[in-house]
Amino acid sequence: MILTLTPNPSIDRTVALDAALARGQVHRVASVTSQAGGKGVNISRAAVSADIPSIAVVPAAKDDPFVLELLGAGIDCRPVRPAGDVRVNLTITEPDGTTTKLNSPGAEVLPLHLELLAQAVLVRAAAADWTVLAGSLPAGAPAGFYADLVRRLREVGGRVAVDTSDAPLRALVDALPVCAPDLMKPNGEELASFTGGDAELLEADPSAAASAARQLLERGVGAVLATLGGNGAVLVTPEGAWHATPPPTTVVSTVGAGDSSLFGYLLGDIRGLSAPDRLALAVAYGSAAAGLPGTTIPQPSQLRTELVGVTALTPSTGGTP
């Protein structure tokens, strides 16, 4: 079972344009889609599609349309008292796959709201194969919320994965090794944010990305899945490092691709796959998601895992030390 926490969920509204975006101009919209979303929610959606039990903890009223949509999709949603309405995020996609996101901050939370979320996770974590803490934090939340929750989860048992960015990511890294999760999933930009490297270089060079990711292992993190956009992903564990290249993909929307990649890795772990095969499944999920509109989560039948190329990285090219 995969338990997810999305402390700052959103209604994801995607506007697909039929031409390139030009500031200050009038555009014709090809389509508009809207979906209850957020990183943890997306992972729970993927789990349901793959017949893996999942519980999604979100701050929302029980009768909120956001919750009702998730329940209607077969997701075991556990709403927790919210500070306000679920925020709305707007994504603009262009024909060449370029994605522009406009994310609203959401309602400002109080310590009470955060503790209710934490308790909803802590009471269920021991029964989960993985607990996933994912996404941004709501306004008013301290940057160290995830770091503190990882520490508390360590006390109740179970494995923890974290996918976040900006201040919450920096706070988590600063708190290592005391608050080290079993898995972190940064992208190139996020890796660069705490290693001081160049984000474009890390995305283009798997060796550099693996070296940066290894810094997290040296500080107690169990494994790092670093997604590199069109260059696939790198996995670094205590046993080794690998790079996976995606199958040929016509990018439609990159929204949710990283969430799908993380789920693919977790699914491979639950199935007992080897590290290279877990990485291959992660990249297959991420590339399939990138080829779908909006935040659509791929079905298992849409994966092309056999077209993912996985290469072991040697010590001289970013592999194990």
* pLDDT, tens only, 284-320: 999 999 888 777 889 899 999 999 999 999 753 443 3
Q: Once rounded to an integer, what is the mean pLDDT over residues 78-91?
A: 94
Spatial separation of the C-alpha atoms in residues 294 and 14, rounded to whole Å: 5
CATH topology of domain 2-20+30-317: UDP-N-acetylmuramoyl-L-alanine:D-glutamate ligase (3.40.1190)
> Quick one: pLDDT at residue 315?
52
> Quick one: pLDDT at residue 76?
96
How far from 316 is each of 47, 140, 227, 275, 313, CA to CA, in Å?
Answer: 37, 44, 21, 20, 8
State the number of CA atoms in the 13 A half-sphere of 65 facing the CB: 9
Spatial separation of the C-alpha atoms in residues 274 and 39, rounded to whole Å: 25
Contact of 40 with 6, CB cutoff 8 Å: yes
Spatial separation of the C-alpha atoms in residues 318 and 321, rounded to whole Å: 8
The residue whose two tokens read 């992208």 is 187
Q: What is the pLDDT of residues 159-179, one digit of tens each?
A: 999 999 999 999 999 999 999
- Any idea which residues carry the catalytic annotation? 259
Above 80 in pLDDT, residue 321? no
| Helix segments in the chain, DSSP class H | 39-49, 65-72, 111-125, 145-156, 166-174, 188-195, 199-204, 206-217, 257-270, 275-290
Q: What is the dihedral of CA 103, 108, 110, 113, to 10 degrees?
A: -50
> Quick one: pLDDT at residue 268?
97
SS3 32: strand
Contact of 8 with 136, CB cutoff 8 Å: yes
Spatial separation of the C-alpha atoms in residues 13 and 247, rounded to whole Å: 28
Q: Give domain limits for the chain.
A: 2-20+30-317
- Record the pTM: 0.90
Q: Once rounded to an integer, what is the mean pLDDT over residues 45-54?
A: 95
